[in-house]
Amino acid sequence: MYSIGSPTQRLNGFHFDEDGGALRRRRASVEVPARIDLETHLPVTLVTSVTSAAFGDADLGDLYITSAKLRLTPEESDRQT
């Protein structure tokens, strides 16, 4: 399982404990650019002010994320695209 922190711009890997539902043994953080090439099989986009996230498509294989630009500086807003 992976966790991405927009404020830190770091990708963290974890082992997921299926019995207890807890994250364990965090692996080393990796700094990521705003976008990682799709060939890496781990596309990443860092967004500020996430307002909602939902899985969609017939197999729930797509993740849809909405975010707000309210109160962002012009520079922060430009980085969201």
What's the pLDDT score for residue 41?
59
What mean pLDDT do residues 25-49 have? 65
User: 31: Cβ–Cβ under 8 A, 6 or more apart, which residues?
Assistant: 9, 10, 11
- From CA 23, how far away is CA 49, in angstroms rounded? 24
Domains in the chain: how many in total?
A: 2
**52/27 same-domain check:** no
Other CB atoms within a 10 A radius of the CB of residue 45 amount to: 14
Residue 13 lies in a domain: yes
User: Would 41 be classed as within a structural domain?
Assistant: no
- pLDDT value for 24: 79
Answer whether residue 23 is part of any domain.
yes
Confidence of residue 78 (pLDDT cuts 50, 70, 90): confident
Region 29-57 average pLDDT: 69
- Is residue 12 in some structural domain? yes
The stretch 13-28 carries a mean pLDDT of 81
Q: What are the backbone angles phi and psi of residue 48, rounded to the nearest 5°?
A: -100, 150
- What pLDDT is recorded for position 71? 82
Name, in order, each residue with C-beta under 8 angstroms of 22's C-beta and a sequence gap of 6 or more.
16
Q: What pTM did the predictor assign?
A: 0.45
Range of the domain at 23: 1-33
